[in-house]
Amino acid sequence: MKKMKGLKVLVFGSSGLVGSSLKRVLGNSNKISELITSSRKDTNLFHIEETKNKINEVKPNIIINAAARVGGIHANNTYRTEFILENLKINMNILESVIPHPDIKIINLGSSCIYPLNAESPIKESDIMTGVLEPTNSPYSMAKLSAIEMGRALNSQYGHKVLNLMPTNLYGPNDYFAEENSHVIPGMIYRMHKNKKNKEGAFSIWGTGDPLREFLFVDDLSESIEFLIDKKWEFDLLNIGSGEEISIKDLAVKLKKIISFEGELQYDNTKPDGNPRKLIDSKLINEMGWKSKTNIETGLKKTYTWFEKNYDKLRI
């Protein structure tokens, strides 16, 4: 996609939840003259030479790293080795590949799970590496923390500009909807929709339903990136959140209404709750002039509408 003037942007991980949203949002930005999207179909980010070749071929002004192996509590806790190894490989290969190109700016997508388990909410950027990580997703968190440290090393030694964005829990169209390995919203949508179709009388929710979570509609994250892409980066770490908290129990009630599921909601206390509360402090980016605009009700309706249209293609 070419326009008259602006930035040349390369997006890695363009087929996932964030990447597909970036294509929608950045594709309409007058700040960008050329948007190049890359997925595993054209570049294997586990291979350093393929990664280098892609960057050398495109010669972008900015790289956005949206590539990652992601999943919910079950997936993170079950595939601990894969989560740390695969995410480390992706981040290492991209950041090592740009060493000869200090003029290329990098926006690296992380996760609010990098923060300590017992960090006081709302969690500030300064809370990074001040305590023990939440145990169910610590391998994934360590990979993301390593990417931040690698970016800081590149900046100190070679002069690269690396901006690490830490979004809160994301959801939206093109998420990974599955029985067990999804994040909470797509997992709940998939299972509740399936229960409705099968006319099952009850829906089981992992844990007590008490934990509080902050969710961000994925297009809001993409719009924050579009907002930041031509700004002077005074920070190398920014939280991106909605500022809106909801309990898992209240989330389930909202989805029950949106999906028109008539069964009973039950809670499985044998499953882990994870962190009891996780709200991030987005004051820094809010003071720069950006705020999220999609409330949870609107975001859930948009997500379920997309899911219903694509359900037959998503069956696994």
Give the C-alpha distances (Å, rounded to integers) separating 291 from 12, 28, 93, 221: 25, 19, 32, 10
Is 140 noted as a catalytic residue in this protein?
Answer: yes
Strand-strand pairing, 62-65 and 162-167:
unpaired
Which amino acid is residue 282, in one-letter code? S
> How many angstroms separate the CA atoms of 140 and 145, rounded?
9
Tokens of 187: 């997992």
Active-site residue identified among 79, 115, 140, 158: 140
Residue located via tokens 């994301």: 170
Tokens of 79: 């595939």
Residue positions counted in the chain: 316
Tokens of 171: 């959801």
> How many angstroms separate the CA atoms of 120 and 110, rounded?
20
- State the catalytic residues: 140
